[in-house]
């Protein structure tokens, strides 16, 4: 009996999904008045790469960045270090990222990649990092 490879789904390839994130990042308003030395899409892709590569630490990801493993995979010209990435992305409103997330989610739904995660009444099971669950009424911080 021959082994049959599953049919490739072009709209679910890593290149396609990376392109969605990158092109979505290119449409975001630039929060820096001078545009900076590293583009906003490169900083966004750097953050995306850090999470999608599941680096065990920021230092480990920074080592990968310094060794040049990350830019060719994610189509970045320049990859910021951790501190610079934070400085670039901090003024970006999460609302600006909603269309990017919606676009990626749409592709995943179209490709039926999320069907296994559907539970009660058609809702998805999603692991969250907990940042939306903790807030403070005593610490004066805009994100709380």
pLDDT at residue 133 is higher than 60: no
Specify the pLDDT at position 1: 55
Q: What pLDDT score was predicted for residue 80?
A: 87
- Residue 131 in any domain: the answer is no
pLDDT tops 70 at residue 60: yes
pLDDT on residue 118: 85
Structural domain includes residue 32: yes
What is the pLDDT averaged over residues 132-143?
A: 60
For the entire predicted model, the pTM comes to 0.71
Residue 14 lies in a domain: yes
Instruction: Give the C-alpha separation, 68 to 70, whole Å.
Output: 6
Q: Which tens digit of pLDDT belongs to each residue from 91-115?
A: 888 888 899 888 888 888 888 888 8
Is the residue at 38 inside a domain?
yes
pLDDT at 8 over 80: no
Average pLDDT in the chain: 80
DSSP string, the chain: ----PPPP-GGGSHHHHHHHHHHHHHTS---STT--SS-HHHHHHHHHHHHHTT-SSHHHHHHHHHHT-HHHHHT-S----HHHHHHHHTTS-HHHHHHHHHHHHHHHHHTTTTGGGB-GGGPBP----STTT---SSS--TT-
How far is residue 42's CA from residue 71's CA, in Å, rounded to a whole number? 9
Task: Give burial (CB, 10 Å; 0-12/13-18/19+) of 129.
Answer: exposed
Number of domains in the chain: 1
Question: What is the per-residue pLDDT across 19-38, written as a single tens digit (0 to 9) for each?
Answer: 888 888 888 888 887 777 88
Could you list the residue range(s) of the whole structural domain that residue 49 is in? 10-114
Percent of the chain with pLDDT over 70: 81
């Amino acid at each position: 009996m021959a082994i049959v490879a599953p049919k490739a789904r072009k709209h679910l390839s890593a290149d396609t999904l990376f392109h969605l994130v990158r092109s979505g990042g290119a449409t975001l308003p630039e929060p820096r008045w001078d545009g900076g030395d590293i583009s906003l899409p490169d900083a966004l892709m750097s953050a995306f790469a850090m999470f999608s590569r599941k680096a065990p630490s920021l230092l480990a990801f920074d080592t990968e960045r310094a060794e040049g493993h990350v830019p060719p995979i994610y189509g970045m010209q320049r990859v910021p270090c951790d501190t610079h990435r934070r400085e670039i992305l901090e003024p970006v409103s999460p609302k600006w990222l909603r269309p990017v997330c919606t676009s990626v989610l749409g592709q995943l739904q179209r490709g039926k990649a999320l069907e296994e995660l559907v539970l009660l009444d058609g809702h998805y099971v999603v692991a969250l990092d907990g940042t939306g669950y903790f807030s403070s009424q005593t610490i004066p911080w805009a994100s709380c």
